[in-house]
Amino acid sequence: MKPKPFYQDESVTIYHGDCRKIVPNLGQVNHIITDPPYGQNTHNNARLTFQNKPRKTIDFASVTADEISKLFGAMSTQCYGWLIATMDWRHVAQFEARPPHGWKFLRFGVWLKRNGMPQMTGDRPAQGWEAIAYLHRDGIKPTWKGGGRAGNYILPKQNGEHPTTKPIQMILSFVDLFTDQGQVILDPFMGSGTTLRAAKDLGRKAIGIEIEERYCEMAAKRMAQKVLDLS
């Protein structure tokens, strides 16, 4: 049975719940652009600065590369285009060696943070970057609008109410270069809705799934904002 949307408009549908239960009931989508949970090492060091509140460590559940691979493999029967995921670099490395079922691994990209968090211990260099996995549905010829340009980005980290917010400029680039007008983009780990916002601004349809209700509320508020004129 198809779940009841948490929010819906002419371009975007948001579901509150576990993507493993919701995705099988959604039907076909054109592409997946998402930011799945990172490994325990990364989440143990995730920090978020709230306005007028002290910096604190955020506690997240951790998932393994094998668990994400199994999930993406199940989604391959419902998607015939790109799967682009900002991920723990360890997970991307495993995907390159052993792609999820139904997907072909094409490129390991990097988001270099201009204002990345310094190494708090001071005893080693800070990482200052995150990995991007570019995969495509196996057996189907991939196309994109970027020609021979690199799939790397140099952009500042954006602070917000969600601890792992990605730069809207990068997600807009993903949507613009890898998808077409009117196509449907799925984000099974929606967070505060950056992928959905980019899709809506560029004339695509989008479906977002998020297990935490507070982020569904946050994303719904973002979707209610006026579409930007990016022409």
CATH number at residue 59: 3.40.50.150
Structure tokens at 143: 């196309």
Q: Is 158 exposed, middle or buried (0-12, 13-18, 19+ CB in 10 A)?
A: middle
Question: What pLDDT is stored for residue 56 in this prediction?
Answer: 36
Give the Cα separation of 126 and 23 in Å (integer): 36
Residue 147: enclosing H or E segment and its boundaries? none
What is the rounded average pLDDT for all residues in the chain?
Answer: 87
Instruction: Work out how many domains the chain is built from and give that number.
Output: 1
Question: What pLDDT is stored for residue 125 in this prediction?
Answer: 83
| Percent of the chain's residues with pLDDT above 70 | 84
Give the model confidence (pLDDT) of 125-139 as tens digits: 878 899 999 999 999
Pick from 75-79, 141-145, 153-157, 226-230: least confident: 226-230
Question: What's the angle, vertex CA 192, arms to CA 40 and CA 230, rounded to 5?
Answer: 125
**Domain assignment present for 200:** yes
Backbone torsions φ then ψ of 132, nearest 5 degrees: -130, 130
Residues 6+ apart with CB under 8 A from 121: none
**Domain assignment present for 2:** no
With 70 as the cut, is the pLDDT of residue 166 above it? Answer: yes
Is 127:116 a contact under the CB 8 Å cutoff? Answer: yes
Q: Which domain holds residue 179?
A: 7-223
**Domain assignment present for 229:** no
| pTM attached to this predicted model | 0.87
pLDDT, average across residues 162-180 = 93
Please report where in the chains the tokens 């695509």 appear, as a residue. Answer: 204
**Smallest Cα–Cα separation from 164: which of 188, 194, 186?**
194
Question: What pLDDT is stored for residue 30 in this prediction?
Answer: 98
